[in-house]
Amino acid sequence: MNAAVQLATGSKPLIEVENLKVHFPIRHGLLRRQVGAVRAVDDVSFNVYEGETLGLVGESGCGKSTTGLAVLNLLEATTGEVRFRGQTVTRSSEQQMRPLRRHMMMVFQDPYSSLNPRMTVGTIIGEPLSVHQMGGPAERAERVQELLRLVGLNPAFINRYPHEFSGGQRQRIGIARALATSPAFIVADEPISALDVSIQAQVVNLMSDLKAQLGLTYLMISHDLSMVRYISDRVAVMYLGKIVEVGSRDSVFDRPLHPYTRALMSAVPVPNPKLERERKRIILEGDVPSPSNPPAGCRFHPRCAFAEEVCRHEEPALRVLEGSNSAEHRVACHLAEKLAE
Amino acid sequence: MTTATAQPITFATTKPESLWDKARKRFFRHKLAMFGVVTLSLLILVSIAAPLLTPYSPIELDLRAIRQTPSAAHWLGTDGTGRDVLTRVLYAGRISLSVGLVSVSISMIIGVIIGTIAGYAGGKIDMALMRLTDMFMTFPSLVIIITVASAMGPSVYNAMLVIGLLTWPSIARLVRGQFLSLREEQFVRAARSIGVSNWEIAFKHIFPNTVSSIAVAITFGVANAILLEASLSFLGLGVQAPTPSWGNMLRDAQSLNILEGMPWMWLPPGLMIALAVISINFIGDGLRDALDPRSIL
């Protein structure tokens, strides 16, 4: 995977996210006065480079799905900017978005509700083609069959309805739909979390095969660290609306710098009973604070075992570790150097 | 996790069968619904064929044959002015059933349009339309109908119009509710992520998913309209004498000695109302079960 790391530092970004904030207003009273905001995504910046898979991890409610939706402009960004191949995506109307949509698609978490129960598989997969006026009806039907074959389904399923399929098959249909227009970039929002464990590996493998075959770029949103480790080239860790650590997969998993990342990594079971018994778990105290009223300073400090005075007042920036030779492993922690020892 | 697992999965049968084929099959298997269909068709048929089935006129009086008990000449007896009850019940079916159908068509058109706009647009438009709907719902319908009927003059057409104009809120609310919940479904978000326009999302993705509940609401609405017409006519504000309707036949049989001693005057129209309403409701039930694509064969 060294090639991927080089890619990440050398090639140009396909997606650029700059200071993205997504706040949901909290309104009260008869006049619907705004009394606060849920800061689901609060000042997040990252790039996704051509041909890589960026894994976005964090516990539920940390804003990773919101980030994914905002990147595709399916949720409006409060401030900040997202660019696709240099073109601004944020704050553009649906008309302006339309020509971009065929290049950036999404695979959804729930394969049961993400397919319209009243449409046939053929209509579902063919819809992106008809929306973007790609080919005539005959060509489209042919393309749909090709896509079904590509995701490992029988092309004869074209006239069937979603309820006739299992979860894993439905997710394959969802993937085929996302691939119909030959997009460059796919946001996969927890694509396997709703599936049976025995099916998860199949879908992950399918996605990584397709990536290699079609030269796709993924933003893989997940809380499943083993899956992220398996499929990602780079990993970004989110906590309470912020990215706390980002770097190549191996450096983040082998040398996690942020105390939160360490706690997360320690929760991954090891498939070796001997090692598993000796595995030290870092158990975090307390709950995730409310994103409508995040703690001052470092957002992690109330749950951090190492927190010092500076953590309570000053918000740490995402930075490269001092004396580190890896320019792209960055962490948002005041004490990273101390803790690295 | 090893290498690819992309192998075609095959089913034993791959014969395509459309959703409508399946729905039709399920509907025909629904016993109560079939009972409803048969009964209602029979009612409609005998109403249309009434002139062929009885030799009497539903309107002309026969003062030599007042309040006769059922006999070979008058199967269901005669009423207070000597008219054959069977004949009148059959002719009344024409009026009552068409009032049901026409008024429900009116209320459905208004209800679906308002519900769709409110549910899909949301926000202030939804707010305004729903307050309007609430306003219509708080009207005590019978009182309004009585007022309108007395202002515009009682007639079948006014009854249809008024019933239609007063029953749309329930359909509007139903459609709106469906739109509101379907709008949040992942497949709507998926359609947006593909680039489908708002218009197409509303009509190609959401609307087809509401059709089954609208169909059910229509059947229940027809039953309700027949009952409303019956109460209107019973109060003397709907269909006017001498034209028969099930409601005004009941009204003509109001006096105590008729109720106690001459059941052939009020039992038949009452039974017809009950039969029509029940069979339409059974059809509605059957439709609801049949049109749900998730229900298993």
B200: nearest CA partner in chain A:
A131
Q: Is A163 in Cβ contact with B294 (below 8 Å)?
A: yes
The domains located in chain B, with CATH, are: 31-52+81-291 (1.10.3720.10)
Q: Is A106 in Cβ contact with B185 (below 8 Å)?
A: no
Which of A102, A149, A204 has the CB atom closest to B195's CB atom? A102
Instruction: Please give the DSSP secondary-structure letter assigned to residue B175.
Output: H
Distance from CA of B25 to the nearest CA of A (A): 16
Contacts of A159 in chain B (CB under 8 A): 16, 18
Torsion of CA A15, A201, A115, A179, to 10 degrees: 40
B192: nearest CA partner in chain A:
A74
Q: Which ipTM did the prediction report?
A: 0.85
Contacts of A119 in chain B (CB under 8 A): 205
Q: What is the pLDDT of residue A1?
A: 40
Distance from CA of A147 to the nearest CA of B (A): 12
Q: Is B7 in Cβ contact with A102 (below 8 Å)?
A: no
Contacts of B12 in chain A (CB under 8 A): none
Q: Is A115 in Cβ contact with B187 (below 8 Å)?
A: yes
A129: nearest CA partner in chain B:
B194
Strands A13-28 and A33-49: antiparallel
Contacts of A30 in chain B (CB under 8 A): none
Size of interface A-B (CB pairs under 8 A): 100
User: What's the first-to-final CA gap in chain B, in angstroms?
Assistant: 37
Contacts of B191 in chain A (CB under 8 A): 116, 127
Q: What is the pLDDT of residue B295?
A: 53
Distance from CA of A340 to the nearest CA of B (A): 32
Q: Is A177 in Cβ contact with B8 (below 8 Å)?
A: no
The Cα-based distances of B128 to B119, B123, B135, B174 in angstroms read 12, 9, 11, 16
Q: Is B208 in Cβ contact with A202 (below 8 Å)?
A: no
Distance from CA of B148 to the nearest CA of A (A): 36
Contacts of A201 in chain B (CB under 8 A): 1, 5
Q: What are phi and psi of A19, to 5 degrees?
A: 45, 40
Neighbour-count burial for B233-243, b at 16+ CB within 10 Å, e otherwise: bbbbbbbeeeb
Note whether A179 and A124 are within 8 A (CB): no
Tell me which residues of chain A, numbers 183 to 222, contact chain B at a CB-CB cutoff of 8 Å. Answer: 201-202, 204-206, 209
Which of A101, A108, A156 has the CB atom closest to B14's CB atom? A156
Q: Does A18 touch chain B (CB under 8 A)?
A: no
The domains located in chain A, with CATH, are: 2-112+120-340 (3.40.50.300)
Distance from CA of B212 to the nearest CA of A (A): 11
Distance from CA of B197 to the nearest CA of A (A): 8
Exposure of B62 in the CB half-sphere (CA atoms within 13 A) = 16
Q: Is B19 in Cβ contact with A118 (below 8 Å)?
A: yes
Tell me which residues of chain A, numbers 143 to 182, contact chain B at a CB-CB cutoff of 8 Å. Answer: 149-154, 156-161, 163, 169, 174, 177
Contacts of A174 in chain B (CB under 8 A): 190
Alpha helices (H) in A20-166, listed in sequence order: 64-71, 94-101, 121-131, 137-150
Give DSSP secondary structure letters for B134-149. Answer: HHHHHS-HHHHHHHHH
**CA–CA separation, B284 and B214 (whole Å):** 10
Distance from CA of B33 to the nearest CA of A (A): 23
Would you call B18 exposed, middle or buried from its count of C-beta atoms within 10 A (0-12, 13-18, 19+)? Answer: exposed
**CA–CA separation, B297 and B293 (whole Å):** 10
Strands A185-189 and A104-107: parallel
Q: Using 50 as the pLDDT threshold, list the residues of chain B that sit under it.
A: 1-15, 296-297
Distance from CA of A74 to the nearest CA of B (A): 7
What is the number of other CB atoms lying within 10 angstroms of the CB of residue A197? 7
Which of B8, B18, B185 has the CB atom closest to A152's CB atom? B8
Contacts of A224 in chain B (CB under 8 A): none
Q: What is the pLDDT of residue A241?
A: 92
B199: nearest CA partner in chain A:
A94
Please give the average pLDDT of every successive group of 10 residues along chain A, which has 341 residues: 45 90 86 84 93 92 92 93 92 88 93 89 94 91 94 91 90 95 94 88 92 94 91 94 93 91 86 81 81 89 89 90 78 87 70
Q: What is the pLDDT of residue A6?
A: 44
Q: What is the pLDDT of residue B169?
A: 92
Tell me which residues of chain A, numbers 296 to 315, contact chain B at a CB-CB cutoff of 8 Å. Answer: none
Tell me which residues of chain A, numbers 87 to 126, contact chain B at a CB-CB cutoff of 8 Å. Answer: 94, 97-98, 101-102, 105-106, 108-110, 113-120
**CA–CA separation, A257 and A119 (whole Å):** 48
Optimal mutation site among A127, A140, A204, A230, interface B, most CBs of chain B within 10 A: A127
Tell me which residues of chain A, numbers 255 to 284, contact chain B at a CB-CB cutoff of 8 Å. Answer: none
